[in-house]
A and B are shown apart, each in its own frame.
Chain A
């Protein structure tokens, strides 16, 4: 990495074809050969080879991670995907697309002000955007929540309580183990585990089993294990998941026992 200066009040990130300010702005943010971090005040700069230059899967996200980590104020690029743009803007980084010419020209143009209205607009519409994103996320949760509520209704009406007793016999240890194992094989939004947990509790399953089930649902993921191994390595992924399974059981035991001891009486 080559260094210009270290003080940077306003850092601009420009994907470029070469490691100089005279290099052309690249068309693709995620896969450009170089990333230039330029101090907009002094035009001093640092260069870095773009980790996504080879164009492999997730290239854009690596550049996004770099931008977030470097506390970049704005990205000036020829083009970037809507997903990359979304991640950048959600993290307070302004994105200006359709930029051509050299990296130096792009930053000079940025300093003159055209992107300002865009920044102002993004502040004005922040609430609307937050509302829209929350609504989108919320509406994605609803079909699954509806399905789970309906299936719990069926479960309550059709499945005899003695069936559940086979999995949750009632002892503190067995219920905790069964709950943690069951939860670790499911994945998805935690809210679904709360609804199922509430249903299990209503069916007479102990709070030990229900708590272990809910904690393991999110913290242990045997289904996602291959993805975690791919990103963070097998040693890390296996150690984390095994220890998280043990943690789910420990948390369940403490959560149910400690309030009983401290406050007198259980839940």
Chain B
């Protein structure tokens, strides 16, 4: 099989793979329903409660995702990672990490190239660590933990990410 065919096959299989985990859980439910129906119904009710609680925040998540896709271009901001502009570079790297979306491995080639162009290790680390802050997912987090908690967590995460970035830069200095 050619590499192209293998790629096509893996692409075709990926939607199925996404359903593998929920599928296995559903099978577990079906088995448990026959063995321990009472407890399984309790489990279903508990899941239903969680789902009901998340419906509105998930709707907000979708709206914020559309707006971010429309107005923000993380790739453009990453070019500032190449700047040696002190605080400005740190803040822009943090901003790029915060608005970046998609799996981390999709960003590795871009980061590798930026690094070859002279971007510092500190800014790379700041970018990667700030991926913990996800504005479009905040509605879900707020629904669980409240605004005050989320504000403090976001603030300390950004601060912590910058501290990690500076430390990584110092530790990996040639």
The reply to whether chain A is a binding partner of chain B is yes
**A144 and B131 contacting across the interface, CB-CB below 8 Å:** no
A10 within 8 A of B: no
**A157 and B164 contacting across the interface, CB-CB below 8 Å:** no
Q: Which residues of A sit under 8 angstroms from B48, Cβ to Cβ?
A: 153
Q: Which residues of B sit under 8 angstroms from A134, Cβ to Cβ?
A: 62, 65-66, 69
Q: B104, B134, B145 — which one has the most chain A CB atoms within 10 A of its CB?
A: B145
Interface residue tally on A, bucketed by range: 35 or more
**A158 and B43 contacting across the interface, CB-CB below 8 Å:** yes
**B109 and A58 contacting across the interface, CB-CB below 8 Å:** yes
Chain A: interface secondary structure? helix
A165 to B115, CA, bound (A): 44
B91 within 8 A of A: no
Chain A residues engaging chain B, CB cutoff 8 angstroms: 51, 58, 61-62, 64-66, 68-69, 71, 87, 90-92, 126-127, 129-131, 133-135, 137-138, 140, 143-147, 149-154, 156-158, 190-191, 194-195, 197-199, 201, 207, 211, 215, 217-219, 221, 224, 227-228, 230-233, 235-236, 239-240, 243-244, 247-248, 250-251, 254-255, 258-259, 263, 267
Chain B residues engaging chain A, CB cutoff 8 angstroms: 18-19, 21-22, 24-26, 28-29, 32, 39-40, 42-48, 50-51, 54, 58, 61-62, 65-67, 69-70, 73, 75-76, 78-79, 82, 101-102, 104-105, 108-117, 121, 124-125, 128-129, 131-132, 134, 137, 140-141, 144-146, 148-149, 152-153, 156-157, 160-161, 163-164, 167-168, 171-172
